[in-house]
Amino acid sequence: MPLSPFSRAATAATLLLGLAACSPPPLPFARLAGLVTSAELDEISGLAASRVHDDVLWVHNDSGNPARLYAISRRGRLLARYDIRGARNIDWEDLASFSQGRHHYLLLADTGDNGGQRRDFALHVFEEPAVLMDGTLAPVRTIRARWPDGPRDCEAVAVDAAAGQVLLVSKKRMPPELFTLPLNAPPGLVVEARRVGRLSGVPQVGAELRRKDPKLASLFAQVTAADISPDRRTLAVLTYGSVLFYRREEGQGWADAVAHAPETHDIPLIPQAEALGWSAGGAGLYATGESRPAPLFYLVPQQ
């Protein structure tokens, strides 16, 4: 959801006024890992850790920008850019990394729909390049899908490769809805996302901000990113004000996991926080947002 630089700063500052009333605890560990300063990256809306290259994160910009993926270091330095063949940036909103056998992939979610008008959406899957250098990438496959009962805005997509599932979380509906799609959907078909549950325990903004600025307060709990930990035990969900950790017990599905109260924390000050991804080892997460320069934080939940 693009905003002007002034609006981003104003939104972040004003949302902080509502945090005291909401009052989830701060993260056990959160540090500024780096700063993204490249002029090419001023609307980061998706982030995933590389499964091929140490110290590398993949990011992309929101709608209105070139169809391009970027590799950056964990300190935020731009390393390489890849133009995408065969995929337009209609409204790219999230990115996930996953492995199948010896192959490592990125799934790019073209799922944004601010106006609630898209009849369908696309998930593009790329094999991670073995060498980091400017170039082009083409999807190895594209999953074309639709919602079961009308358009939705969705900015949060995660992959459970072992289960063969893609998870999608709606943005504006409260409580947020959880959907699934088959990761290996047949090519050429438009598959229908299946709603399997709703997210419990999403922190809401305080009463004072709701009274002073209802429109701005409504943004606080909107879901903007999600990712599954490499050990498949935790679904991390980002909103504009919080980060949530839904734990999955052995043998439990994600629908059951999100039906229970999550571990919740305030996020650091990230203007328009819209990008979140577990580190390759799964010890913590990286998070950033749509601004320039964009702070890149490293977050660690409770152990």
CB 110 within 8 A of CB 91: yes
Task: Tell me what pLDDT residue 302 has.
Answer: 80
pLDDT tens string 206-228: 788 778 888 778 888 999 999 99
CB 21 within 8 A of CB 207: yes
Place of tokens 């990761």: 183
pTM over 0.85: yes
CB 152 within 8 A of CB 158: no
**Which string of b and e fits 56-75 if b means at least 16 CB within 10 Å?**
bbbbbbbbebebbbbbbbbe
Task: Tell me what pLDDT residue 186 has.
Answer: 87
CB 286 within 8 A of CB 279: yes
Give the C-alpha separation, 166 to 271, whole Å: 27
Mean per-residue pLDDT pooled into runs of 10, the chain (303 residues): 47 45 70 97 97 97 94 98 93 97 97 91 97 97 95 97 97 96 92 98 85 82 97 97 95 97 93 96 96 95 80
The percentage of the chain sitting over the pLDDT mark of 70, rounded to a whole number, equals 92
Task: Tell me what pLDDT residue 213 has.
Answer: 81
Task: Tell me what pLDDT residue 216 has.
Answer: 76
Task: Tell me what pLDDT residue 23 has.
Answer: 54
Domains and CATH numbers, the chain: 5-297 (2.120.10)
